[in-house]
Amino acid sequence: MVPTFIIIVLIIIAFYYFGRRRNSGEAEKKLSNKINEIKKGVEEQEKNDQEKMNDFLEKNLMKTRVIKDSSEHEGVVYDLIIVQVKGYYFLEKENTPTIFALHILDKTFEDEEWHPVCSHLGDFTNGEDRVFEMKTEEALLGPKHGVEDWVDLFVIPETALLPPLKGKRNLLFEVYLCDPKSVFKGGILDSEPRDDFQYNFASINFEFEYDEVGWMDEWMGRDRVDELIMQLAYAVAAADGKVEKSEHDVVLKWAQSMLIFEKEEDYESKRDQMLSAAKKAHDLAVAGDLDIGVITSEMMEIAPKSHRYDAVELMLDVCVGDEDVKQVENEKIEQTVKLLDLDWTQYKVMREKRLADVKTVEQSEKLDENIFGIIEEMTNDEKCKELRRRYTEFKSLTMHDDANKRKQALHMIERIMVLRKKYKC
Amino acid sequence: MSKIIGIDLGTTYSAIASLNDLGTPEVLEDPIQNKKTIPSVVFLKGNNNVEVGENAKRMLSTNPDLTVSEVKKRMHEEVIWSTKEGKWIEKDTGKTKVTEGEFTPAQLSSFILKKVSSIAGETKKVVVTVPALFENLARTRTEQAVKLAGLELIRLIDEPVAAALHYASLDATKGISGKIMIFDLGGGTFDVSIVDMNTTDVKDIKVITSKGDRHIGGTDFDKEICKLLNTKYKNNTGVNLFENDQFSKYLNIAEQIKRVLSVEMTASEMIDGPKGSQNIEISRDEFEKSIDKYLDQISMLLEEVLEVIKLGANDISQILLVGGSTRVPAVVKLIRDRMGKEPTKGVDVDQAVAAGAAIYAGKSSSAKDLTTNQKKNLDQIELHQVCNHYFGVFAITRDHRTGREEERNVIVIPKDTPIPCSKIEYLQTRYDNQDAVRFRITQSAILIEKGVTLVNILKDERLPLPENLPKGEPLKVLYSYDKNGKMHCTLEHEASKRKIELALEPDNSKTLEQAATEIKDFNFDDFKFDGEKEEDKSTKEKPGEEAKETKEENPKE
């Protein structure tokens, strides 16, 4: 009898006990579930924020792009490359001294060895070597600085770029926002530690077609270019059938002047090479074996434009070296100018400089017409106008301090008047 | 008479004018020769005796070695007249010792100025005219000549501008408004200027531009006639009249022939030569053919000046002739053909420049020195001049197209900028302790930016800098044209307030002091004027040698 009562109590206690135990597990589970739920929610939230953060950074971090444009200056159209930037700089401190620096690397090479793009214009280098570099003025910037939309940061005339080789180039434009004291070597930031000097960086690829001879071509072809220049000079010297000593001296003087760029250890070998090339060119000229077409064709492949102008300048110096300008000499030079694809106006300036000092110009109507820029295709009016322009230039020379120049100028004016009479101006 | 006088210092003839009490300019007459124009010829008689004017001009035929003409044409050249050699010789710039009997163009011009100014009596303040194309060197030498003559230079003004002033002052030109061409063909130089003139209310004259040539003038026409005489004499006798361009003996006759041909179709003269006298006739046609090349050059300059101001011949309302050589009919025909209109007549071509200089002299006088009428006339005139040359400085630049470093003539003040004017530029030192800056200053009649050997370098000098300047130190350079059309260049270091002016003066073998000393004892036989003092007469020595005078009649004016 008693045991039934006890059993019921026990059962009740058991129910209670085990029921409690079961409830407690669920709660934990619930709690645990809850905790998990909360965790998950937090993680998702974090993920969203990160994406938003990434999105924000993606939109607002400093970026760069390159566009092409053109501009006219003094009647000449220049093709331009404009490097633009937009975005925020996210500098840590206020009033941080900063500059923007631009370098360009050529990535076209198959071996993935990138080479810097150079420039033959001092304004676009660091002044110590020819590696391309542009920098802005120093500015004090801070965390909130940046630009909402694209702004022009660097404007570069295409003619300022000197890639390693000719042809289609894949260039990498690198824009650094950095400390003004940053040092760059070969187009790469060299300052250590990098973090202290580089605050921000952006880069962009750009395809560039380069028609001229690159700096690598130039370096490799340097000696051969010097030889070809001397061949052209002797071709002019021999044009009238004889190489005068004075003309020969002009070439040797030029060869000598090229040696000043040599390092001490290379001086003698370069000198021997130049002398040997001069002799060879002289002998070829005397034998009549110099072909302007062949020489200029090779020069177009390996000589940069500045060296091609050097060649014409030396030819002009040789032409006036014997103080007597002849029609055959003038013809050879003009042929060379055309074949070397040089600017005619620039050539005329170079020629006039020398004509002003020469003692005699061969009496030849054809030569006069060449010198004064008269071509057959011109109308009579155009010829008269061109002669008038030339008259004005020589007339100003009649007021020069140098008596020889004045005398020569008066002489040239007389020849202009003869032509004007011919064309009944 | 106003206290400042105007002098037209011409290549072949000079004149002097001043304002009368009514305020109109009067060209003064040489009381000895009774002429209003005085030949710009100097006869160096020897023993410090000099003669200037008609008598000296007569000496050209008989004593060409001792007679100097066309001095003005030499003002820009590095030459001296050697009495020993009887000609101009290139100056030896290395010379430190002056040889006796050598005269600079400035000294010879001072003789002419002294003669001309003596006509005006005691007046010493002068306005002197120069060709528009006279550059810095020639202007500086003209200033020196004025000082050597014992005169005080108030201002140099351009000849076409002086002529324009005179023209504007005439009652006949009241109410004119528009572009006027001043065509000035004198004995030695040719200038053509375009001025904007408005005489409706105040007489406002604005110079727009000028062009010119100092190798075209009446004397060049005379030389062509000399060549014609030579050809004809040789045809008649088989012998040259003269050898190697030694024709100065025949210049007076040539001028005479030229004047006759201005009114007649032929002119003949008895010419004395190595094979006796020959009567030689020259036709107008022959003369005009001989000067064809000069006429063509004048024609080109007319085209050029219109092109510069971007106008056509129709836009020019009047053409004013100045200078005796405009009397040549071929010149008038050329103007008619090119400009499509007749030049304006009624202004004395020989006296317009001097008259205009007198007006300017009046304007430069202080009010208390002027009569009421003078003030009234002058107050109505406003003149604005321009510089006639490009002011440049050499700089090393890189040509983007050729990739070559080259020297360039950078223009700091362009031609036709109203004067006085100035421009400031800032340089920086290129390295620490830079001790000097090199300046090469240029002046050119046309725009030359490349081909720098064609540009006249006025001065090539290194100016010293203050010590211990760091790299990048700013330096201020002031380039300017003054009211006389002369150039100046000043370098200033603002921090130390140190200023250096680059002396844009000609390098002379003689300093101004030397030049003045040499000629201070010279006697001018002709220099007689009213009130000549006894003590002045007593210091004049009789010349040791008298030159024979020819009995040629004076040519007609």
Q: Which residue of B has its CA nearest to A396?
A: B445
Cβ-defined contact of A306 to B403 (cutoff 8 Å): yes
Cβ-defined contact of B304 to A388 (cutoff 8 Å): yes
For residue B189, give both structure tokens: 């130089």
Q: Which of A399, A411, A416, A422 to mutate to test the interface with B (most CBs of B within 10 A)?
A: A399
Residues of B in contact with A213 (CB under 8 A): none
A150 touches chain B (CB under 8 A): no
Residues of B in contact with A127 (CB under 8 A): none
ipTM of model: 0.79
User: Residue B248 gets which letter from DSSP?
Assistant: G
Contact A304, A212 (CB under 8 A): yes
Residues of B in contact with A352 (CB under 8 A): 451, 454
Cβ-defined contact of B398 to A121 (cutoff 8 Å): yes
Cβ-defined contact of B445 to A353 (cutoff 8 Å): no
Cβ-defined contact of A391 to B297 (cutoff 8 Å): yes
Q: Which residue of B has its CA nearest to A419?
A: B293
Cβ-defined contact of B448 to A396 (cutoff 8 Å): yes
Which residue among B90, B293, B403 sits closest to A403, beta carbon to beta carbon? B90
Residues of A in contact with B405 (CB under 8 A): 122
Instruction: Tell me which residues of chain A, numbers 354 to 393, contact chain B at a CB-CB cutoff of 8 Å.
Output: 356-357, 388, 391-393
Cβ-defined contact of B403 to A120 (cutoff 8 Å): yes
Compute the Cα dihedral for B181, B127, B488, B423 and give only its sign.
negative
Which residue among B133, B215, B402 sits closest to A346, beta carbon to beta carbon? B402
Cβ-defined contact of A122 to B398 (cutoff 8 Å): yes
A424 touches chain B (CB under 8 A): no
Cβ-defined contact of A346 to B450 (cutoff 8 Å): yes
Q: Which of A309, A396, A416 to mutate to test the interface with B (most CBs of B within 10 A)?
A: A396
Cβ-defined contact of A305 to B402 (cutoff 8 Å): yes
Q: Which residue of B has its CA nearest to A410?
A: B215
Cβ-defined contact of B451 to A396 (cutoff 8 Å): no
Residues of A in contact with B399 (CB under 8 A): 346
Question: A-B interface: how many C-beta pairs under 8 angstroms?
Answer: 92
Q: Which residue of A has its CA nearest to B404?
A: A306
Q: What is the pLDDT of residue B13?
A: 94
Per-residue pLDDT of chain B (557 residues; tens, 9 = 90+): 557 899 999 999 999 999 888 888 899 998 888 889 999 999 998 777 889 999 899 888 888 888 999 999 999 888 889 888 888 888 765 544 446 778 899 999 999 999 999 998 887 889 999 998 888 889 989 999 999 999 999 889 999 989 998 988 887 777 778 999 999 999 999 999 999 988 877 778 899 999 888 889 999 999 999 999 999 999 999 999 988 777 888 988 999 999 999 999 999 999 998 989 999 999 999 999 999 999 999 999 999 999 989 999 999 999 999 999 999 999 999 999 999 999 987 778 889 999 999 999 888 777 777 778 777 777 778 888 889 899 999 887 766 666 666 778 889 999 999 999 999 998 888 888 898 888 889 988 888 877 667 787 888 888 888 888 888 888 899 999 988 788 899 999 988 888 888 877 665 556 667 777 777 767 665 443 333 333 333 333 333 322 222 233 333 33
Residues of A in contact with B454 (CB under 8 A): 352-353, 356, 393, 396-397, 400, 405
Residue A193, preceding bond cis, omega within 30 degrees? Answer: yes
Contact B297, A391 (CB under 8 A): yes
Q: Is B213 helix (H, G, I), strand (E, B) or coil?
A: strand
**Closest-CA distance of chain A to residue B313, Å:** 17
Contact B60, B69 (CB under 8 A): yes
Cβ-defined contact of A343 to B401 (cutoff 8 Å): yes
A77 touches chain B (CB under 8 A): no
Cβ-defined contact of B296 to A417 (cutoff 8 Å): yes
**Closest-CA distance of chain A to residue B383, Å:** 28
Which residue among B90, B215, B457 sits closest to A410, beta carbon to beta carbon? B215
Low-confidence ranges of chain A (pLDDT < 50): none
Contact B331, B185 (CB under 8 A): yes
Q: What is the pLDDT of residue B537?
A: 38
Q: Which residue of B has its CA nearest to A388?
A: B300
Q: Give chain B's contact residues with A (Cβ, < 8 Å).
A: 76-78, 90, 133, 135, 137, 213-215, 292-293, 296-297, 300, 303-304, 398-405, 444-446, 448, 450-454, 456-457
Q: What is the pLDDT of residue A234?
A: 95
Strands of the sheet containing B87-90, edge to edge, are B87-90, B79-82, B102-103
Which residue among A120, A392, A399 sits closest to B304, beta carbon to beta carbon? A392
